[in-house]
Structure 1
């Protein structure tokens, strides 16, 4: 039975995202990067798992510098556990504990000298209000900057996080509701970046993780129901959503439909190809040019008989 799927997913995502992010971030000019992790405190498992990543392929090389800043509203014995974790890390990794919530993120980022270098911020806001605009803006000062945020009903209420992230400087956002088998309601995973490739990597990553944990995903707008996370998901709900999108905006390129799929639905970019192919086979849409590979520059629109 899955009792806290978001905790399992967050822990696994931290490991996979950091392993994917750190080598490239540390190879950037300046050879320094910052990982910021803000959470309520209590379970130190995700933090400890994140630190262990830096003892493997993501371990910084000589001359590189990685700063890890952990903000915890309720630190408990986290200081001692982080000290034990850092003992197994190379000298190129420094770990700092800052008592407090996400509101301390601007000061913590400044103290770490994070601005202007690659930064990955992870904000677990499941027990409190949504992060303030100042925290999001501070997280966006990385060059480049990425953010993984977790929200629950309390932290989502009355907050337009897409608009807040855009105003902070993140141009691309993807969000997915996560359902377990027994939890009372979904939590929301939000990933913000300015790189389309990184956005696609995030979506691919949550599908890999979700398949091992046993959860369902849903787009926050509820346009499609919860999707079972399998290696080959049912494309029919996505096909309906793309058909609706074409009804709303008219002609789109395949690239635009892929981008919409990644940012606005629970599906991956690769799933859009199959859904578009199914719509073409059913005669519900037409393409231009009419033949050839279904590349990103191919235009798709409703077939005349499908238009309202």
Structure 2
């Protein structure tokens, strides 16, 4: 599986979970796809197929897709054909994502409604302005899934999102494409992390945690190698002095590419190895147990 296929599978998995929840929350739901023609329209077409499959959940609600790209004359026709008479509304906007994304969202009424944006800037010829991602903040709730070219730092794009995470796709020691996810929902962040580790592993593509100073490559697995998380968690405890198990689970979820459940497993191994101490000493490892360096 190539990096493009991994990104596409992540998008599909997240959409499949996001659409039913969004339709349950609001009467109008908008999915926005930036650089929709950057990969020949393959990702946008995959997204339409997922949205069409979810139209059974609409029942009097409105589900719309806004696709923006340099020239969507051909891609837009294919998207409309995929949508057919399913009830999915497709708005295809040409003229460039950097120039038209925010305008297209406003024209589609993507304000104060559930909104998910996928911006595949890694497949485009330009690095997006962080303000472009800010256009998604008008959703209520809002989420974004962004890909960046190798070497582009994710921090400017995480700003303004209450919860955000980033993961690097890599095949060797060279910098790889970056995936950035931002949301206002802790539950949605957990869902994204589950999808992240559930994608099919193929063709040597692995993950790298941007926060890991050793830049360790991690195989994609439902039980990922805990080494980078162990190092990051020990460094975190050195900075803060001590933290509860709940705080360490939150740190893993928001500050690393790992899940909260991975943090619990690492805490157990750190205690068993004597690297950290717990307070109180005995009993169940509940969320209020305090962990500190030994």
Specify if TM > 0.5.
yes
Cα deviation, residue 255, structure 1: 1.8
Is the alpha carbon distance of 1:267 and 1:299 closer, same or farther for their aligned partners in structure 2, counting shifts above 3 Å? same
Structure 1, unmatched stretches of 5+, are: 304-308
Cα deviation, residue 178, structure 1: 0.7
Within the candidate set 167, 176, 188, 1:186 is matched to 176
For residue 262 of structure 1, what is the aligned residue in structure 2?
Answer: 253
The superposition leaves residues 14-44 of structure 1 with CA deviations (integer Å, 9 ceiling, x where unpaired) of 2111110111111114x11100000253422
SS of 2:70 mapped into structure 1? strand
Structure 2, unmatched stretches of 5+, are: none
The superposition leaves residues 87-138 of structure 1 with CA deviations (integer Å, 9 ceiling, x where unpaired) of 1x522x1001111123421101100101001000011111344332432221
Matched, 1:120 2:116: yes
Correspondences of 1:271-286 after superposition (within 5 Å): 271-286=262-277
For residue 306 of structure 1, what is the aligned residue in structure 2?
Answer: none
Supply the distance in 1 between the matched residues of 2:177 and 2:71 (Cα, whole angstroms).
21
SS of 2:165 mapped into structure 1? strand
**1:103–1:132 CA contact under 8 A, matched in 2:** no
SS of 2:223 mapped into structure 1? coil
Cα deviation, residue 76, structure 1: 5.6
TM-score by length of structure 1 reads 0.87
Between 16-25 and 40-49, report the one with greater CA deviation.
Answer: 40-49
Cα deviation, residue 57, structure 1: 4.5
For residue 95 of structure 1, what is the aligned residue in structure 2?
Answer: 90
For residue 31 of structure 2, what is the aligned residue in structure 1?
Answer: 35
SS of 2:264 mapped into structure 1? helix
The superposition leaves residues 179-238 of structure 1 with CA deviations (integer Å, 9 ceiling, x where unpaired) of 137x96411010001111211111111110154675211111342411111232222332
SS of 2:11 mapped into structure 1? helix
Supply the distance in 1 between the matched residues of 2:6 and 2:137 (Cα, whole angstroms).
24
Within the candidate set 158, 165, 171, 2:158 is matched to 165
For residue 9 of structure 2, what is the aligned residue in structure 1?
Answer: 12
Cα deviation, residue 288, structure 1: 1.8
Correspondences of 1:73-222 after superposition (within 5 Å): 73-75=70-72, 77-87=74-84, 89-91=85-87, 93-99=88-94, 100-126=96-122, 127-153=124-150, 156=152, 161-166=154-159, 169-180=160-171, 185-211=175-201, 215-222=205-212
Supply the distance in 2 between the matched residues of 1:294 and 1:215 (Cα, whole angstroms).
35
TM-score by length of structure 2 reads 0.90
**1:106–1:134 CA contact under 8 A, matched in 2:** no
The superposition leaves residues 282-304 of structure 1 with CA deviations (integer Å, 9 ceiling, x where unpaired) of 1111112222222222211111x
SS of 2:113 mapped into structure 1? coil
Query: What CA RMSD, in Å, does the superposition of the two structures yield over aligned residues?
Result: 2.2
Supply the distance in 1 between the matched residues of 2:83 and 2:175 (Cα, whole angstroms).
36
Is the alpha carbon distance of 1:210 and 1:294 closer, same or farther for their aligned partners in structure 2, counting shifts above 3 Å? farther
